[in-house]
Amino acid sequence: MSPSMDFSCRKIFLALFNTISVLLLLISFPIILSKSSSSVFLSGIKNVEEESCGGLDGFDDYATKCSYLQTHDTCVSQGYIDYIKLFYCIGNESFFLGFVILLSWLLALFYLLGNTASEYFCSTLEGLSEALGLSPTVAGVTLLSLGNGAPDFFSSIVSFTGSPEVAMGGGSVGISSILGGAFFVSTAVVGVINIATPIYRPGSAVVTVDKSCFIRDICFLFLALAALSAILISGRIHLWEAILYVSIYIIYVVNVSTSFCCQRRDEQLRLPLILSTETSSLSSTQRQQPSSMGGEEEVEIRSELLNYWFSYFLSILHILNLPFYLPRRMTIPLVSEEKWSKFYAVTSVTLSPLLLSALYSHHVPMEEEEKKTLEAYLIGGLIAAVLCIATLITTESTKPPVRFLLPWLASGFLMSVTWSYILAGELVSVVVSIGHILGINASILGLTVLAWGNSVGDLMTNVAMAMNGGEDGVQVAISGCYAGPLFNAVVGLGASFVLSAWNVYPSAFVLPSDDVSNFEIIGFLVSGILLAGVGFLRRRMKLGRAMGIGLICIYLCFLLFKSFILLDFQI
């Protein structure tokens, strides 16, 4: 065997091994949390089908609804906060105030989930990628795709696990949010790129998208949608079918790792971004040069005032952000050069086992709560003490550890997943609760609000990359608009299917049904992908403003269609 063939074989094996390892790590964590309550989950499904929150709409006043909630345990929020009971029993019958608080908390959760993914999760994944020696291509379609799709991934996982109420109502939210996000990114985001990039960068009209990579991405996305449609038609899924569905992405990773058509060097992407930023800053500075000494003094005074108020505003934001920042910073170990702190390292390895113990005890059945909770905290406290002493002795204040780097990265990965799981649970819980309060099917909110919130990062990142990323920026942005939804649809929903089927094994997991047809979403999604495919091929893989307008029109038609259904209009 030649050295080149041997290298390719090792590359394929490494891609398979790391992809499967990451998937197993991600799936094992929710199993630990949900397995303890799986008996409660299975025994409660029948009752939930018969008696959920549907009866809440039959009452008008807050007092009656509060009494209903206190006597019906199935009508509870899935998160750590019971938002429905909080709204009706403690809201002092102020609908506007209560709803504003819920919306504000929803926005805060969107920010926290995205910030956790970018500041903690992605940082750990980049370290793992370097420690495992992954090539940029393999890392991009495995670990980095996971980092970018973390909000959708964990929202889907959480919507399928937990209490019976969540399983029957939240699962549809998970499916609709994944499909809604994929539809938004593949139509609206691609449309904005096609419209905005030629305006911002006139020379981009001659930039072409790699044909083979584009066709590969949309073909795998079509395959995933076809498999998902078959699963939805059957209405149930076995464990082996769920594993087979996840294997679509493994095949995709192997395909990408053995081809070099989409390989791009990070320096080629980063340098134009830096240069364009510096050039724009320099040109703006030159434009603002005053023509006289008096003008210079006036500008300097205004600049000092602006800096004063801006720093004052930032200080207020920093204080307000502390309650959200400190719990995560003090429980997620970080070992990157720019974020290393021995104080936070010691604190995080001490508090993280206790946080895991608290989460485990929260999911312990009621009859075993006292015993299991005591055992969990004793074990967590012992591990925390050992890790605290070891960290104090073996680490330095000036630089992160070099030895035992992989355990540090693994612990950071575990706690990033933990926080993402917690925040995604609260996010889905708020969306489902708002659906109950407004009398709107929660899956519609998942299709719109949850999908928009989780996809706004893709909109900003991909559009900015297309406009400022040099010659390769358009290619990376368009590829991300299809590879990202593919990851969320296959790995996000696939991991949820595996978890759900695992809980009922050897029986098949019955998929949640709702009034909103997921086939409508898939139909619109396929039409958007076909329009983009035909448009790119006819224009020889170049951007087109007309194609962008058409893609956005498809998304707006879909929203209009859903609005008519929601308002019970006859079309």
Could you tell me which residue, 26 or 417, shows the higher pLDDT?
Answer: 417
Token look-up 């708002």 returns 434
Q: Looking at the predicted structure, is the pLDDT value of residue 146 above 50?
A: yes
Domain covering 135-264+434-571 in this structure, CATH number: 1.20.1420.30
Higher pLDDT, 38 or 214: 214
Q: How many CB atoms lie within 10 A of CB 508?
A: 17
| Mean model confidence pLDDT for the chain | 72
More confident residue, 569 or 278: 569
pLDDT score for 452: 75
According to DSSP, the residues that pair with 510 across neighbouring strands are 236
User: Which pLDDT score is estimated for 437?
Assistant: 80
Give the closest residue to 432 by CA, choosing from 83, 143, 20: 83
Contact assessment for residue 450 and residue 180, using Cβ atoms and an 8 Å cutoff:
yes
pLDDT of residue 43: 35
pLDDT value of position 434:
81
- CA torsion sign for 469, 475, 479, 481 is positive
Per-residue pLDDT tens digits for 321-368: 888 888 888 898 888 888 888 888 889 889 988 888 888 777 666 666
Q: What average pLDDT does the segment 293-311 reach?
A: 56
Q: Name the β-bridge partners of 509.
A: 237
Is 62:88 a contact under the CB 8 Å cutoff? yes
Average pLDDT over residues 487-497: 86
**In the predicted model, is pLDDT for residue 185 greater than 50?**
yes
pLDDT given at position 166 = 43
Comparing 51 with 56, the larger pLDDT belongs to 56
Q: Which of 139-148, 442-451, 497-506 has the lowest mean pLDDT?
A: 139-148
Nearest-Å Rg of the Cα atoms of the chain is 25
Residue 92 clears pLDDT 70, i.e. is over it: no
DSSP 8-state assignment for residue 81: S
Signed CA dihedral, 58, 64, 70, 76: sign only: positive
Q: Is the pLDDT of residue 30 over 60?
A: no
Give the ranges where 36-121 is alpha helix by DSSP (H). 38-50, 62-71, 83-89, 95-116
Pick from 170-179, 191-200, 421-430: least confident: 170-179
Identify the band that residue 405 occupies on the pLDDT scale cut at 50, 70 and 90. Answer: confident
Higher pLDDT: 40 or 267? It is 267
Q: At 379, which amino acid appears? A: I
Distance of CA 13 to CAs 17, 42, 68, 406, Å?
6, 39, 57, 20
* 390 vs 515, residue with greater confidence: 390
What is the Cα–Cα distance from 473 to 486, expressed in whole angstroms? 20
Dist CA 539 CA 547 (whole Å) = 10
Run of H or E including 178: helix 164-183
User: What tens digit of pLDDT does each residue of 560-571 get?
Assistant: 887 777 666 444
Calculate the alpha carbon distances from 402 to 32, 135, 293, 390 in Å. Answer: 31, 21, 54, 15
Write out pLDDT tens, residues 154-166.
Answer: 777 766 665 444 4
pLDDT band at 85 (very low <50, low <70, confident <90, very high): confident
pLDDT at 201: 59
Say how far apart CA 282 and CA 278 lie, in whole Å: 6
Which range is most confident: 117-131, 276-290, 424-438?
Answer: 424-438
Mean pLDDT of 259-263: 51
Euclidean distance between CA atoms 233 and 68, whole angstroms: 36
pLDDT confidence bin for 423, thresholds 50/70/90: confident
Could you give the CA distance from residue 13 to residue 358 in angstroms, rounded to a whole number?
Answer: 38
- Parse the chain into domains and list their residue ranges: 135-264+434-571
Taking residues 37-47, what's their average pLDDT? 36
> 374: Cβ–Cβ under 8 A, 6 or more apart, which residues?
none
Residue 68 near residue 75 (C-beta atoms within 8 A): yes
Residue 282 has pLDDT above 50, yes or no: no
Number of residues assigned to the chain:
571
**For residues 167-186, average pLDDT:** 73
Per-residue pLDDT tens over the stretch 96-143: 788 888 888 888 888 887 788 778 877 777 777 777 776 655 666 666
Distance in angstroms (rounded) separating the CA atoms of residues 235 and 542:
40
Q: How far is CA 287 from the centre of its chain?
A: 41
Q: Are 477 and 137 in contact (CB under 8 A)?
A: no
The answer, yes or no, to whether the previous bond of 506 is cis (omega within 30 of 0) is: yes
Q: Is the pLDDT of residue 513 over 60?
A: yes
194-241 per-position pLDDT tens digit: 887 765 655 555 667 778 888 888 899 999 999 998 888 888 888 888
Distance, in Å, from the CA atom of 98 to the CA atom of 90, rounded to the nearest integer, reads 9
What share of the chain has pLDDT > 70, as a percent? 64
DSSP 402-421: STTHHHHHHHHHHHHHHHHH
Q: Are 452 and 155 in contact (CB under 8 A)?
A: no
Cβ neighbours around 7 below 10 Å, total: 10
